[in-house]
């Protein structure tokens, strides 16, 4: 009996649990996968009707971080929950993320979350989206930037819109149709979303 137990213990391979982020890898392909290492993650969180405003705020944050030399990335994957996206990036080694929702976007704010270890509760601080306070908070968390400061090109911002599925021409048409609908006594604005904005 002892011999059987010994052989079982010796020759049965130990199962090593796979990191949780691997189950989300299938969503981070193509335009959703960054080409370089990410220092700071920008996480826009929104409902369908708030999407353009929140994405604009995320682009502003991206521009500020890049102007400071930080390797930032806007996570536009919207088929998994925000908490799952956070865990994915934590396990990939990204300890600092900037969260922005509709409330923050309207007030020119964002939330800087710093994670000490994977799965732990993040330390959060609400800051203004300006090049001084935001960059200072990020620098205190992770130190010096990876790259020299550089301005953001229009092509980069347009690429974020493209991946997010936002068509600025359709937005203008949508706003005009909503205005006309309101003048005619309508009250259901969500019927007129035509910009390819998926339900999130």
Please report how many Cα atoms fall inside a 13 Å half-sphere around the Cα of residue 137, on the Cβ side. Answer: 25
CA dist list (Å): 12 to 16, 17, 43: 12, 15, 43
Give me the pLDDT at residue 24, please. 84
Q: Is 86:97 a contact under the CB 8 Å cutoff?
A: yes
Q: Is 55:102 a contact under the CB 8 Å cutoff?
A: no
- Cα separation, 29 vs 76, in Å, equals 11
- Return the structure tokens found at 112: 């800087």
Give me the pLDDT at residue 141, please. 92
Give me the pLDDT at residue 16, please. 61
- Cα separation, 23 vs 14, in Å, equals 21
Residue reference for tokens 């309508």: 186
Residue 44: closest CA among 27, 59, 34: 59
Residue 126: closest CA among 142, 114, 139, 144: 114
Give me the pLDDT at residue 22, please. 76
Q: Is 131:25 a contact under the CB 8 Å cutoff?
A: no
* Element spanning 104, H or E: helix 102-107
Give me the pLDDT at residue 150, please. 87
Sketch out the chain's domains with CATH numbers: 2-166 (3.40.50.800), 168-200 (no CATH)
Flag residues of the chain having pLDDT under 50: 1, 172-173, 175-176, 179-200
Give me the pLDDT at residue 40, please. 96
Give me the pLDDT at residue 195, please. 35
Write the pLDDT tens digit of every residue in 18-34: 666 678 888 888 888 89
* Element spanning 123, H or E: strand 123-128
- Cα separation, 50 vs 71, in Å, equals 26
Give me the pLDDT at residue 96, please. 96
CB atoms within 10 A of CB 42: 23
Give me the pLDDT at residue 166, please. 81
């Amino acid at each position: 009996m002892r011999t059987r137990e010994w052989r079982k213990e010796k020759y049965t391979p130990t199962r090593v649990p796979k990191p949780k982020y691997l189950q989300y890898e299938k969503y981070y392909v193509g335009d959703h996968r960054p080409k370089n290492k990410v220092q700071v993650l920008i996480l826009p969180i929104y409902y369908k009707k708030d999407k353009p405003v929140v994405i604009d705020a995320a682009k502003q944050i991206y521009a500020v971080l890049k102007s400071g030399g930080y390797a930032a990335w806007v996570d536009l994957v919207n088929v998994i929950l925000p908490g799952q996206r956070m865990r994915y990036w934590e396990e990939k080694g990204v300890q600092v993320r900037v969260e922005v929702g509709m409330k923050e976007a309207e007030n020119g704010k964002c939330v800087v979350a710093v994670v000490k270890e994977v799965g732990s509760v993040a330390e959060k601080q609400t800051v203004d989206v300006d090049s001084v306070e935001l960059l200072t908070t990020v620098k205190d968390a992770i130190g010096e930037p990876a790259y020299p400061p550089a301005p953001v090109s229009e092509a980069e911002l347009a690429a974020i819109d493209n991946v997010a599925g936002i068509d600025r021409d359709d937005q203008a048409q949508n706003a005009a149709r909503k205005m006309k609908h309101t003048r005619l006594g309508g009250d259901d604005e969500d019927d007129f979303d035509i910009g390819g904005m998926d339900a999130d």
